[in-house]
Structure 1
Amino acid sequence: MIIDGLQCGHFDREAFQSLQRAGVGGVVVTCGFWEGALESLDALGLWRDLVRDNSDVAEIGTTAAEIARIGAEGKVAVILGYQNANLFEGRIRLVEMFAELGVRVVQLTYNNQNELGGSCYEVEDSGLARFGKEVVLEMNRAGILVDCSHVGDRTTLDAIEASEKPIAVTHANARSLFDHKRNKSDDVIKALGQTGGVIGCAAYRNITGDDYCKSIEAWCGMVARTVDIAGIDSVAIGTDRSHNFTAPDYAWMRQGRWTRGVQYGASAAGKPLKAPPPDWFQTVEDMNVIPGGLRAVGFSEEEVAKITHKNWLRLYEATFRPSN
Structure 2
Amino acid sequence: MMIDGLQCGHFDRAAFESLGRAGVAGVVVTCGFWEGAVESLDSLGRWRDLIRENADIAGIATTPSEITGLANEGKLAVILGYQNSNLFEGRIRFVELFAELGVRVVQLTYNNQNELGSSCYEAEDGGLARFGREVILEMNRAGMLVDCSHVGNRTTLDAIEASDKPIAVTHANAQSLFDHKRNKSDDVIRALGETGGVIGCATYRNITGDDYCKTVEAWCGMLARTVEIGGVDTVAIGTDRSHNFTAPDYAWMRQGRWTRGVDYGAASAARPGKAPPPEWFQDVEDMRVIPDGLRAVGFSEEEVDKITHKNWMRLYEATFRKPKIEVN
TM-score tier, shorter chain, comes to: over 0.9
Alpha-carbon deviations, 1:159-218, whole Å to 9, x = none?
000000000000000000000000000000000000000000000000000000000000
Question: In structure 2, the residue corresponding to 1:233 is in which secondary structure?
Answer: coil
Shift of 1:322: 5.7
Residue pairs, 1:275-286, within 5 angstroms: 275-286=275-286
Cα distance between partner residues in 1 of 2:71 and 2:223: 23
What amino acid maps onto 1:37 in structure 2?
A: A
Name the structure 2 match of 1:21. 21
Q: Is the 8 A contact 1:25 1:72 kept in 2?
A: no
What amino acid maps onto 2:209 in structure 1?
A: G
Alpha-carbon deviations, 1:84-126, whole Å to 9, x = none?
0000000000000000000000000000000000000000001
Cα distance between partner residues in 1 of 2:43 and 2:226: 34
Name the structure 2 match of 1:156. 156
Name the structure 1 match of 2:59. 59
Name the structure 2 match of 1:135. 135
Residue 93 of structure 1 pairs with residue 86 of structure 2 = no
Residue 183 of structure 1 pairs with residue 183 of structure 2 = yes
What amino acid maps onto 2:69 in structure 1?
A: R
Question: In structure 2, the residue corresponding to 1:164 is in which secondary structure?
Answer: coil
Name the structure 2 match of 1:296. 296
Cα distance between partner residues in 1 of 2:76 and 2:194: 31
Cα distance between partner residues in 2 of 1:26 and 1:71: 8
Name the structure 2 match of 1:236. 236
Cα distance between partner residues in 2 of 1:73 and 1:165: 30
Q: Is the 8 A contact 1:24 1:71 kept in 2?
A: no
Name the structure 2 match of 1:106. 106
Which deviates the most, 62-71 or 166-175?
Answer: 62-71
Question: In structure 1, the residue corresponding to 2:207 is in which secondary structure?
Answer: helix
Cα distance between partner residues in 2 of 1:72 and 1:29: 20
Alpha-carbon deviations, 1:268-302, whole Å to 9, x = none?
00214000000000000000000000000000111
Q: Is the 8 A contact 1:8 1:242 kept in 2?
A: yes
Q: Is the 8 A contact 1:141 1:322 kept in 2?
A: no
Cα distance between partner residues in 1 of 2:65 and 2:280: 31
Question: In structure 1, the residue corresponding to 2:233 is in which secondary structure?
Answer: helix
Cα distance between partner residues in 1 of 2:151 and 2:289: 30
Cα distance between partner residues in 2 of 1:227 and 1:287: 20
What amino acid maps onto 1:252 in structure 2?
A: W
Which deviates the most, 220-229 or 71-80?
Answer: 71-80
Q: TM-score, normalised by structure 1?
A: 0.99
Structure 1 residues without counterparts, runs of 5 or longer: none
Question: In structure 2, the residue corresponding to 1:232 is in which secondary structure?
Answer: coil
Residue 123 of structure 1 pairs with residue 123 of structure 2 = yes
What amino acid maps onto 2:212 in structure 1?
A: Y
Q: Is the 8 A contact 2:96 2:323 kept in 1?
A: no
Question: In structure 2, the residue corresponding to 1:211 is in which secondary structure?
Answer: helix
Cα distance between partner residues in 1 of 2:231 and 2:271: 34
Residue pairs, 1:259-274, within 5 angstroms: 259-274=259-274
Question: In structure 1, the residue corresponding to 2:171 is in which secondary structure?
Answer: strand
Shift of 1:321: 2.0
Cα distance between partner residues in 2 of 1:201 and 1:99: 26
Q: Is the 8 A contact 1:206 1:275 kept in 2?
A: yes
Question: In structure 2, the residue corresponding to 1:199 is in which secondary structure?
Answer: strand
Q: TM-score, normalised by structure 2?
A: 0.98
Cα distance between partner residues in 1 of 2:244 and 2:49: 18
Name the structure 2 match of 1:307. 307
Name the structure 1 match of 2:198. 198
Residue 213 of structure 1 pairs with residue 194 of structure 2 = no
Cα RMSD between the aligned structures? 0.9
Residue 247 of structure 1 pairs with residue 247 of structure 2 = yes
Shift of 1:145: 0.1
Shift of 1:68: 1.6
Structure 2 residues without counterparts, runs of 5 or longer: none
Question: In structure 2, the residue corresponding to 1:104 is in which secondary structure?
Answer: strand
Identity of aligned residues (%): 82
Cα distance between partner residues in 2 of 1:134 and 1:229: 30
What amino acid maps onto 2:202 in structure 1?
A: A
What amino acid maps onto 2:264 in structure 1?
A: Y
Shift of 1:73: 2.2
Cα distance between partner residues in 2 of 1:186 and 1:117: 20
Name the structure 1 match of 2:172. 172
